[in-house]
Amino acid sequence: MNKTIQPVRAPDLRRMKRRGEKIAMLTAYDFTMARLLDRAGVDVLLVGDSLGMVVLGYETTVPVTLDMMVHHAAAAARGAQRALVVADMPFMTYRTSVPAALSNAARLIQQGGAAAVKIEGGHAVLEVAQRLVESGIPVMGHLGLTPQAVHQLGGFRKQAKHPREASRLLSDARALEAAGVFAVVLEVIPEDLAAEVSGALEIPTIGIGAGPYCDGQVLVSHDVFGLYDECAPGFVKQYAQLGRQMTEAAEAYAREVRRGDYPAAAKSRKRDSISR
Ligand code: KIV
């Protein structure tokens, strides 16, 4: 670890909110991606269970297992020097019992190298959130469109559009804060509701498709970099088209190999080393 770098810790996010500093969070699922995003100064790296869709090719996040999350979290954590690494607890790994949730979260921290975990849900996960926090594991909440509940929600669609759902979401957010979570993701909810929740909480809100009034923003990196074009949601801004560039680069490589242009005939082979 580089001693001059000040790592971001979970309590720093609340301080950032107090100072009015917006929090930048992106997903990362492996060493190389985490290292690049960490170097760019992204504050929080989320090893999201979205890896099931953008890395593993599933249609939802539901098939993602704890073993998969531990494996990817460990790789991402090795790439991060400054950013706070948060790992998603996957489907059902924190819902069956508090002891199961504690031991599953422990694996993400101990073997996965994450510094915090994220869980989806409101009142149903309060006891788990509180027990994790009491055990020294920082917890990030996640409300609104909770992708692990996709089958119950009937698809990936905007949540809390009606007043009763909106007030339920606000009360869930307050309850999560009281349970000790250090931040809460608000996914695909109306922006005025996101503003109200952000104003009501001392902990930061991190929005995704929830408008500009959250204390931070998160996006799935594969969407941001143009690597995953299966179903990028409308609120995503593509900052690069790396997918297209990679395809073009691979085409150029294949062409050169087939033509015999790569590797070029050696003029004089002085270097025998194959180190990178
Ligand atoms: O899994 C994930 O990437 C997430 C973000 C969309 C917040 O939970």
22 φψ region: left (φ > 0), alpha (ψ -120 to 50), beta (else)? beta
Choose the catalytic residue: 134, 187, 202, 230.
187
Using a pLDDT cut of 90, give the percent of the chain over it.
Answer: 90
Per-residue HEC secondary structure of 192-248 comes to: HHHHHHHHHCCCCEEEECCCCCCCEEEECHHHHCCCCCCCCCCCCCCCCCHHHHHHH
- Ligand 1 atom index nearest CA of 187: 7
pLDDT of 42 reads: 98
CB 65 within 8 A of CB 107: no
Delineate the domains of the chain, giving CATH numbers in brackets: 10-241 (3.20.20.60)
Nearest CA to ligand 1 atom 3: 48
pLDDT of residue 232: 77
Instruction: Work out which ligand 1 atom sits closest to the CA atom of 206.
Output: 7
Cβ–ligand 1 distance for 44 under 6 Å, the answer no
Is the C-beta atom of 208 inside 6 A of ligand 1? yes
Task: Give the closest residue (by CA) to ligand 1 atom 4.
Answer: 48
pLDDT along the chain (276 residues), means of 10: 85 98 98 98 98 96 98 98 98 98 98 98 98 98 97 92 97 98 98 98 98 98 91 89 97 98 78 66
pLDDT of residue 265: 81
Q: Evaluate if pTM is beyond 0.85.
A: yes
For the chain, the distance separating the N- and C-terminal CA atoms, rounded to the nearest angstrom, is: 22
